[in-house]
Chain A
Amino acid sequence: MISLPAAFLLLALTSMQLPASILLDVDGNEHVLPDPGAKATIVYFVTQDCPISNRFMPEIRRICGEYSSRDTRCLMAYVDATATADEIREHRQTYENTVPAVHDLNHALVGLADASVTPEAALFDREGNLAYRGRINNFYADLGTPRRQATEHDLRDALEDVLAGRAVSQPRTQAVGCFISKFGTAQRQESP
């Protein structure tokens, strides 16, 4: 009686682990996930027209810049399947975003991290375990309710834990933002 839920849990845990895979970014460069040369990999889930996601662009740039010297890789996942390559290119230019970006057309990364909104961060350790998933910080208390400044920096805290080899104290949080929509993903899958 105990073995069934236990097996289910094990499966669920296993599915949280990132299988080694190669991703092609929008500039045509390959990225190995999990990156064997990095202690930590952050995947940011974003949409080009979500104002909350956009307001986080400077903080995303800052985190990636500050941690790049500490064996941390960053990747942006654009999750709107209906977005065109031009829209993504323009968005990256507008927000001076040089972080490598993939268009997660089939929501493979969304599924791996079980992301539900943008912006949301998934933090994988060197083995590809999902060490943290959730908000970048608590700047938004709710939709339409930004604080003067963030008072809890969940992603940075989780990064510090992972880089120090500790268990992340708060491994899951609820992000505030725009819901990720499956719209457009099915058609794209049917006609590769």
Chain B
Amino acid sequence: MKTPHAPIALACVFALLSFSTALAVDSTRSDAVTFNEHVAKIMHERCSSCHRPGQAAPFSLLTYEDAAKRAQLIGAVTGTRYMPPWHAETGYGKFKGERRMTDREIATLAAWVEAGAPEGPGEAPAPPTFPSGWILGEPDLVLSMEEPFTVPADGPDVYRNFPARVPTTEDKWIRALQFQPQARTVIHHSLFNADTSGTARKLDARDDTPGYSGMGASIPGKVSLSGWAVGGRARVFPEGAPLRLPAASDFLFESHFHPSGKEETERSSIALYFTDEPASRTRLSFQLPPRFGTGARIDIAPGDPSYTIGESFTLPAAIELYGLTPHAHYIGKEFKSWAELPDGSEVPLIWIKDWDFAWQDMYVYEEPVRLPAGATIRSSIRYDNSAENPRNPSNPPKRVRWGRGSEDEMGSIIYMALPADENDVKAIRQAYSVISKRHARQAKEYFRARRAEARAQP
């Protein structure tokens, strides 16, 4: 550090110190922290939307008794940031619906637990009320799973896909949607797709149980229609960019369940809201690496705690990035993406330090991130195939390569963007197709080598 800057830096450090001291003094006055005055507000704002009757969370956090008898648990799970569940790092992209507590809120809860979880004088603020039924009003179409599915009481997590016939005779444009699960304690996420090939229905017919298992089998021409994860609410798509629902297709619920100790019955529904205005802006969706990592030559040695893949894409024209969805299976560990701008500056896009397959969130930016022509988007995905990774499905660890099974891996970040100028769509697609084609070639070589290896084995 150059000397002239030192006093400024020192002043900054001092300012930071005095700020944190102020925080510390405040939070150590634990005698002053009570449920009625401090904790109820935090519970209601940060916990109650899920922790209330009829929702996914296992118990309510509305009243003093609700919170007081779980005080130690609340202190522990907020202290480690396991709750509220939010996996993206602060300061690395600003997203809608961030389920995060501030450091100050966490310190307040810790001080309350330390003080013995006092109720305090006066009355607690009234718990918030939540709208019942469909948040966005009467839907244009409601689709439901055709048959209820029984989630077993016990055993490993269940991945199952359910097609539901779309009755419309012409393509529709979805401007918003809301998912409504039935068995809220066991459903963890559902990804939505439209299948026009009939493949999903064939797979469903293979056995008598509703749906078919697996983490999203390969369906030719599958159209992604976003998804839902625990805590998710209604989803409204960017103005001018509704999603196309193909006529007479099958709507696919690709759902993840975790058994709860007793049998549960799930019959998911989705409310769709249409617009007469077809998309006027082109939705650009690209993956880094492309094709869920088929061409990334994934080959992770058993025991390897840190194996990384990644890709980059230099934009030929400006885009507005409005969201992204990271995807890997169980041993995926870390996701990082950023953009390098032509002026040398860096735009952080997302950082997930401890990937949890159970939380398949779609991250939508609070404000779309505008990236200029010449910006390079980079992705980096790290895997942990060591025995120390409790999420490793294989014990002892096995060699892991690309595949659809839960013991195989995939890896990509799916970016969703709109072109800043519609005239640039072709140029952007062409630039991306260069990367995508390179990965297609790599995938071909990769699978050829794997087949040769399999043949060589006795």
Contacts and interface: CB of A to CB of B under 8 A. Distances in A.
A binds B: yes
Interface of A: 49-51, 54-59, 80, 82, 94-96, 141-149, 151, 178-179, 181, 183-184
Contact of B82 (A55, A143, A179): A143
Given A58-B154, A145-B391, A183 B69 contact: yes
Contacts of B68: 181, 183
B395 interface: yes
Interface stretch (B71-79, B175-183, B232-240): B71-79
A135 B153 CA distance: 20
6 smallest CB-CB distances across A and B, nearest first, come from: A141-B390, A183-B69, A58-B154, A54-B261, A179-B72, A57-B261
B156 interface: yes
Contacts of B358: 144
12 contacts: A49-B59, A50-B58, A50-B59, A54-B58, A57-B262, A58-B154, A82-B65, A143-B82, A148-B156, A148-B157, A179-B70, A179-B72
Contacts of A57: 153, 261-262
A95 B264 CA distance: 11
A80 B59 CA distance: 13
Interface in B37-77: 58-59, 65, 68-73, 76-77
A118 to B, nearest CB: 10
B72 A55 contact: no
B395 A151 contact: yes
Contacts of A143: 76-77, 80, 82
Contact of B58 (A49, A80, A184): A49
Contacts of A142: 390
Interface of A is mostly: loop
Contacts of B148: none
A145 B390 contact: yes
B370 interface: no
A184 B66 CA distance: 12
B261 A144 contact: no
Given A49-B59, A51-B185, A55-B261, A144 B69 contact: no
Interface string B112-136: 0000010000000000000000000
B255 to A, nearest CB: 17
B393 interface: yes
A146 B157 contact: yes
Given A145-B390, A179-B76, A56 B58 contact: no
Listed residue (B73, B85, B391) with the most chain A CB atoms within 10 angstroms of its CB: B73
B262 A146 contact: no
B69 A80 contact: yes
Contacts of A51: 58, 185, 260
B70 to A, nearest CB: 6
Contacts of A95: 261-262
Nearest to B77: A143
A151 B261 CA distance: 19
A160 B384 CA distance: 35
B259 interface: yes
Identify which of A59, A151, A178, A184 gathers the most chain B CB atoms within 10 Å of its CB: A178
A26 B433 CA distance: 68
Contacts of A146: 157, 258
B98 interface: no
Among A96, A142, A148, A149, max chain B CB count under 10 A is at A148
B356 interface: yes
Contacts of A82: 65, 69
Nearest to B185: A51
B332 to A, nearest CB: 14
B356 A144 contact: yes
Contacts of A178: 70, 73
A55 B259 contact: yes
A181 B185 contact: no
B277 to A, nearest CB: 42
Contacts of B76: 143, 179
B101 to A, nearest CB: 16
A55 B259 CA distance: 7
Nearest to B407: A148
B154 A59 contact: yes
Contacts of A181: 68-73
